[in-house]
Structure 1
Amino acid sequence: MLGLMLGDAVGVTGGHLPAEGPLRATSAGQLACFTVEGIIRADVRGSHKGICHPPSVVWHAYTRWASVQGIPGIRPWRDENWPDGWLAQVPALGVRRGSAPATVSALQARPVLDPDDHVWTSLGAHGLTRTLPAGLIEWWHPEPGRFAAEVAATTHGSEAVDAAALGATMIKTMAAGREPDEAVERAQRECQSFLQVLTGRPLAEAAQTALAHPRDPAMLARLVPDSRALSALAGAVYVVLSFPERAHVRDALLFAASAPHGRHAAATAGALLGARHGVNALPVGLVSRLELAWVADVLARDLLAEFVDRPSGTGYTDGSDPDWWDRYPGW
């Protein structure tokens, strides 16, 4: 989570970091926070109610993001005390930091939550970046990539949905201690049965280019020609394979951000590098300047607490934290 927030904040600088001051999140980082909150609330609901459609709960989380942003046309889910939960009370998440037009359009329309209902057509990178945290939930969902695809499909089209599946599966594999090249191969193999348009080995070119021509700005620009989700993922793969050492995380993110369309590639690379190396590899001087560092840290810890300890209990047992339901209402 901290790697994702760091990549997001560095990416928007275009590789030219200010010498001081806060590093601010964009809409991509904000939405990723609400993804984690939605996953926690989905598990709370399932534990207490027994019936839950997790992608719907995450979609509901995105409507809370849109509400605190003051975006018009968002249907309130309650007449009072909505948006609820602690995350909606964080002031920085209510500040407009770039647009997410495909996500906003989908949130303003009726929810279309069936993964087989291909209403949305956007290929944009938000379908990837905001779903990357789904790679952390293997103990809850046996196929994090499939879950990421279901969440992405609530607002984006097939290519972005496939990129989300591949990205989350890479996060899962790298968090388990696998090398980046193995994560690429596993993602392509494990997702093959449910990818819609990115058949074959969609990340092979990026991996091969990193092997033959690492750290080449021209190669990165060629792999990231636009702001599509697939471009962001390909660029991130190239960056991660070009900078595999834990001591070079800063260099990797600045390199990714320097590409003309590298903003989302940097965010994706940050998430992958964080999953691969752990929080202690992230440059302290930059993490300490992150606007949403504490938010990402709390969400990551609470995600773990929810699945390990069930602080709100279940429908049959009492929990250890009487305030957990108010923090993460199960709906």
Structure 2
Amino acid sequence: MQTHNERFRGCLIGGAIGDALGWPVEFLRLDEIKRKYGPQGITNLVKGRTNLVEITDDTQMTIFTAEGILRAESRGNNKGIVHIPSVVHRSYLRWLDTQGVSTEVEKDGWIHSIEGLHTRRAPGNTCLDALMSGKMGTMEEPLNYSKGCGGVMRTSPIGLVYKKEEAFMLGCESASITHGHPSGYFSAGVLSYIIAGIVEGFDLQTAVEQSLGELKLYPNSDECSVLIEKAITLTKSDTPDIQAIESLGEGWVGEEALAISIYCALKYQDNFEKALIIAVNHNGDSDSTGAITGNILGAYLGINSIPEKWVREVELSVELTQLADDLVKTYEDSEGWHQKYPGW
């Protein structure tokens, strides 16, 4: 039985490792990956131009989602009222500032001060444009009709803190800040729900199936639910992994990235390393499918099931560990906590 600290660390660091594993091959086709890294594709973390095993915007924005949750909890505990998506939006504006786009949002708290976050790692144009618009997107009043995977790839921390149904809705609301298509935000809700189910002690198959049941309660969710059902069915077939993933898409959009990740996590649910290698060696958005698979299986198997070398090598591992432990606490009434996570 995994402790909360083991699951939370596994989720955040597992996601960062999947992100870093897929980042060098994100824009390569599978045949190009195999030519560069061998017939098995990329199978280990590699250092980037900065001589670090680099994370990308996927993990950066996941970190700021976590910060938004913790700042929202600070505000709720101190002021008695809080609209969580609005606080998360402000944290995304702090992320935008780290990307070199000046914003008027508060620059306090410890996350914005992490030097390693102040670098561009191929941020998504939809996220940048939406956050620069000066408006906050919602499901009811979307800023665009994008269903890119930039919504789902950042919402796993929501499932660590909130119960399943609340996590689903908060995941949707947080993704809809930048992505207005139902598949762009429903995929995020499903990921948050799956993580919440794992934290509540359900086995992975049950957590996925329950998330599907929740998803089907909402109109305009068919596109997302059909692909998830297909992913589940494929895990029980003899279809080779490469063909299975190809039939689910390339992962550039929310429902495809989620479905590919669900397939990899369910198919190899006892083997974190194998699942991640399968999740990144395909024609599509390798870092996002790697990140989401890492979030799911990291939470399910815990930090101790992740290769220790990977945990040690991935960029911001120490900071991610601290953030995960803070998410376990959720709130602490101390001066140090209020300085780390001020409630605006």
- With the length of structure 2 as denominator, give the TM-score of the two structures: 0.85
Q: Match of 1:156?
A: 179
Match of 2:243 in 1: 218
- What is the DSSP-based 3-state SS (H/G/I as helix, E as strand, rest coil) of the residue aligned with 1:12? helix
Please give the per-residue CA displacement for 1:105-137, whole angstroms capped at 9, x wherever unaligned.
Answer: 111112235431123211111100111211112
**Which one has the bigger helix percentage?**
2
Q: Is 1:207–2:220 an aligned residue pair?
A: no
Question: Aligned letter for 1:48?
Answer: N
How many angstroms does 1:57 deviate by? 0.3
CA shift for structure 1 position 214: 5.6
Residues 205-255 of structure 1: CA deviation (Å, up to 9, x unaligned): 01111110365212212213340111110101111122121xx21121111
Q: Tell me if structure 2 keeps the 8 A contact 1:146–1:194.
A: no
- Rounded to whole Å, the distance in 2 between the matches of 1:142 and 1:197 is 16
Q: Deviations over 1:7-60 (max 9, x none)?
A: 111121335235666321100100000000000000101111122111000000
Letter in 2 for 1:260: N
SS of 2:335's partner is coil
CA distance in 1 between counterparts of 2:46 and 2:117 reads 24
Q: Does structure 1 retain, via aligned residues, the 8 Å contact 2:85–2:174?
A: yes
Aligned length: 311
Gaps of 5+ in 1: 313-320
Corresponding residue for residue 56 of structure 1: 86
The answer to whether residue 40 in structure 2 is matched with residue 29 in structure 1 is no
Distance 2:80 2:305 in 1: 39
The alignment status of 1:295 with 2:306, answered yes or no, reads: no
**Which residue of structure 2 lines up, in the alignment, with residue 232 of structure 1?**
257
CA contact (8 A) 1:250 1:282 kept: yes
What letter matches 2:343 in structure 1? Answer: G
Q: Distance in 2 between matches of 1:222 and 1:214?
A: 10
Mapped to 2, the partners of 1:296 and 1:322 lie a distance apart of 21
- In structure 1, C-alpha distance between the alignment counterparts of 2:340 and 2:239, rounded to whole Å: 45
Q: Find the partner of 2:332 among 306, 311, 319.
A: 311
* Counterpart in the other structure of 2:200: 176
One-letter amino acid of the structure 2 residue matched with residue 237 of structure 1: I
Q: Distance in 1 between matches of 2:46 and 2:165?
A: 43
- Which aligned pairs between 1:253-268 and structure 2 lie closer than 5 A? 253-261=276-284, 262-268=286-292
Per the alignment, residue 315 of structure 1 pairs with none
Q: Which residue of 2 aligns with 1:329?
A: 342
Listed as ranges, the matches of 1:15-94 within 5 Å are: 16=42, 17-18=44-45, 22-71=52-101, 74-77=102-105, 82-94=106-118
Q: 2:20 aligns with which of 6, 9, 34?
A: 9
Structure 1 residue identity aligned to 2:241: D
Deviates more, 1:220-229 or 1:192-201: 192-201
**Distance in structure 2 (CA, Å) of the matches to 1:164 and 1:85:** 26
Q: Distance in 2 between matches of 1:293 and 1:88?
A: 16
C-alpha displacement of 1:272: 0.6
How far off is 1:198 after superposition? Answer: 3.0
Query: Does 38-47 or 128-137 show the bigger shift?
Result: 128-137
Which amino acid in the other structure matches residue 185 of structure 1? E
Structure 2: which amino acid aligns with 1:225?
A: E
Structure 1 stretch displaced more, 13-22 or 171-180: 13-22
Q: TM-score, normalised by structure 1?
A: 0.88
Shift of 1:297: 1.0
Name the residue aligned to 1:317: none
Q: Is the 8 A contact 2:251 2:288 kept in 1?
A: no
Deviations 1:55-101 (A, max 9, x none): 00000001101112212xx4313xxxx41111111111001111221
CA contact (8 A) 1:188 1:202 kept: no
